Each structure stands twice: as structure tokens, then as C-alpha cells.
Structure 1
């Protein structure tokens, strides 16, 4: 069971991810609707994994990844993005995100990506 922080400006997306992840016995330790809140929740809750949307108000996912990685170089981050945003996904990966999932979410793919990314903890 992993402690996961979900970051997305759409409440519906956060709820969808929370449902998928809690069914697989993961613990949701926080939800944020923008990058600024995400960074502060990361520092407070030290989750095992962050699922980070890219396009958000106040502070986008790219900026939030930079700030989280400055705070914790070993942070595990998976970005989520709609189709057609390959350029930003590549930028996120270059900044240290481990993987990505595409919206709309496919439950099986989300779980596979989460498990694969969490394997970095034990390796």
C-alpha cells in the first residue's frame, strides 16, 4: 500500500483517480487542485507517489515538479495529461517524472503505471 498525493484542477479527475487507487488499497494522503497546494502537501505529507496534472491554474504541473524535486530529489511523480500534449509530457519526464498516464483514465493502465513507478522505491 502506497501513500499517494493526487493533483488535478478537475475535482472529477481527482475523484476518479481516488476511486481507482483506493480500490487497490492505496492510501490517498492529499488532493490538490493546483501546483502550489501540491508542493505544500508534498512537504507536509511526504507521499510515496504523486500523480500530477500538467495544466492547472496558479502553478502548473511542470513548475510543481521542479519545486518538489528541489525539495526531494527522490520524489516519485507520474504526470497525467490529455492526448496531444506529448511535448509537455516529455518536459515533465526530463524534469524527473517517472511515467505518465493519459486522460481519460483507463483503470488498468493507471494501476500498472502506479505499480511500475512504485517499484522504484524497492529497487
Structure 2
């Protein structure tokens, strides 16, 4: 399946961003951008209009929930996947109410990332045939 998704990884941890990049490259993502906090991710989203954003919930400056809200106001078609090690049910529920596409538990695994990418590509293919 052709993977031409434009992806932004937003996490204040460089190690986690590196891990995500490795996993996304295995999933054949070619365009991957990085953001260190919620403020930077908003700027990147507006400039690059990604298909997918992996967004950490707990970050300095602007957290994932605030960033999610702004991304959804800007373009509700962008798929935002919340990533958190503190996977509390409250965060999950709130992020889904705000428009998050999915939720991923840290440490992230290849299976989790691959299944999200496959789901998005499949949906995209189905809407292209409608």
C-alpha cells in the first residue's frame, strides 16, 4: 500500500521522537517532522498541513490537550493520535471528545504505530473509491 502520509511527531523527549521516527520509517513514512512542544506543533501543522500528528499529552509550554484543540479548530481532518505513558482514562476520554483520532500508549511499539497507519491508509483508500 502506498504510504504518502505526512506525519508530525510532537514530544518533549528527543529519545521518544527518535523512536517514533524509526517506527514510522519502518512503516514507509517518508515525510516526518518533529516538534518539541504544543506551540511548535501548531506552527508546523499550519505550515505543513500533515495527515497525521502523534501528540504527547504532558509537555511544557503547551500540553497535548491544548494543542489538540487548536489543531482541530484549524483542520478537523488531521488525524491526531495522543501518546501518553500516563494513560489515564480521563485523558483518553477528553482527547477523544476534543477530536483525537486514536490513543497510543508509551513506550510505543511498531505494532501500535503500524496499525494506526494501516487504518488511516485504508480509510483514505475507501473514501477515494466513493
TM-score, scaled relative to structure 1: 0.92
Superposed, 1:1-123 pairs within 5 Å as 1=3, 2-122=5-125, 123=127
Segments of structure 1 that go 5 or more residues without pairing to the other structure are: none
RMSD: 1.4
TM-score, scaled relative to structure 2: 0.87
SS of the equivalent of 2:69 reads helix
Q: Deviations over 1:34-55 (max 9, x none)?
A: 0000000001111110011100
CA distance in 2, matches of 1:66, 1:50: 13
SS of the equivalent of 1:6 reads strand
Kept after mapping to 1: 8 A contact 2:87/2:105: no
Q: Deviations over 1:76-122 (max 9, x none)?
A: 11111114422112111110001111011121122112221343434
SS of the equivalent of 2:81 reads strand
Report which stretch shifted further, 59-68 or 77-86: 77-86
SS of the equivalent of 2:108 reads coil
Kept after mapping to 2: 8 A contact 1:29/1:45: no
Q: How many residues are matched?
A: 123
Cα displacement (A) at 1:12 = 0.4
In our comparison, the structure showing a higher alpha carbon Rg is 2
Kept after mapping to 1: 8 A contact 2:8/2:52: yes
CA distance in 2, matches of 1:112, 1:92: 19
